[in-house]
Amino acid sequence: MRIRYGRNDKGKLVRQAEIYSLDEHNISRDRIDRDAKKIISRLHSVGYEAYVVGGAVRDLLLDRKPKDFDIATDATPNQIKRVFRNSRIIGRRFRLVHIYFANDKIIEVATFRAIDSGERDEQIFGSVEEDALRRDFSLNALFYDPENEEILDFVGGVKDIRKRVLRSVIPLDVTFDEDPVRMIRAVKYSVGTESRIPFFLRRAIKKNAPLLHDCSISRMSEELFKILQSGNAEACFRKFRDLKLFQTILPQYSVLIDEKGKSYEDKFFEAMETLDRHVRGGEKRRSRMLVFLLDNYLEETGAFERGKQTSFKEVIKRSKGALKPLIAPNREIDEAVKQILRKRKIWSNQKSSRSRNRRRKGKQATASQEGG
């Protein structure tokens, strides 16, 4: 392992980063997305730094296939756009560049952030070292150079991944105030990488859990679906309960668990365990995920007490209430409720009843016209 040195404000030589070579990290450039390598090579050719960053490096170190290959560079969004004609700048306050390829493929390229570039402030560009210090957790703060097959580690992230420990890069008295959603990510990363959450990080999450109330509904709703789609929903929700986050993410469910006790709590986690099996088997439909989330809740709250006389509209209303303050697209809710009612042999009866009513009305209208 080599050490990268730099100079501090006083000009003194200081240790900046640990550089891991191929024989130390075992990530071959062949495992990097071909288009991501092209982007990095092109940026290098015109004089910019560029690396694969974040979750892709973490997953490769864990010998997993990354979902995305995000790139970080010292080129500004406008400079990136000038290099790639197949690109578009997105965002207003925090600008990123999407580079487009065939089959609707998009690779995201971000400019290094400065230390002073907080989540709620204006975007300030910085160096690769500063960008590493702006990342949420050390396992997401690694930079991989596919041309030299090296990992730059400014925060000890490689060692944390190998020790299976989650560590915040930003000080704990600052990080969750800047972005409360980092608490949800902490749980997801912990479960997904089988990493433990140290005592002080756990304490900070419990203390700051109420800050999630300040997050936008749309953002929190998207985080809920990410959890349901992760294949680790059961373990994530158990950890949310333990860390006092559950009552903010799904407050209606938290109330029901407190009211019904262990019997409903067991049903909830059994449903999430079943959902995880379906997701790992390839299930991607959000409506199907909502079925597992809503079915037992609706039953416990009496949504099906009228049996075949159950109102579709009423179940839709109850389903939306169950998720409050979070929201799901109406189409997904509708489809989920249809699946639940079919499973309970209610929906098919409602459809046939409506069909009979339409036929009856049609016959009455025809008879009236003939009589006229």
Active-site positions read: 68, 70, 136
Q: Quick one: tokens of 367?
A: 């008879």
How many Å apart are CA 115 and CA 145, to the nearest integer?
A: 22
The backbone torsions φ and ψ at residue 98, rounded to the nearest 5 degrees and listed phi first, read: -100, 125
Which is nearest to 112 in space by CA: 161, 75, 165, 162?
Answer: 75
Relative to beta strand 150-153, strand 142-145 is: antiparallel
| DSSP category for residue 210 | G
The backbone torsions φ and ψ at residue 302, rounded to the nearest 5 degrees and listed phi first, read: 80, 20
CB neighbour burial string for 81-92, b if at least 16 within 10 angstroms, e if fewer: bebbeebeeeee
DSSP 145-177: ETTTTEEEESSSHHHHHHHTB--BSS-HHHHHH
Q: Quick one: tokens of 176?
A: 């969750």
The backbone torsions φ and ψ at residue 31, rounded to the nearest 5 degrees and listed phi first, read: -90, 0
How many Å apart are CA 39 and CA 49, to the nearest integer?
A: 11
DSSP 293-357: HHHHHHHHTTTTTTGGG--HHHHHHHHHHHHTTS---HHHHHHHHHHHHHHTT-HHHHHHHHHHH
Contacts of 68 (CB under 8 A, 6+ apart): 55, 56, 107, 108
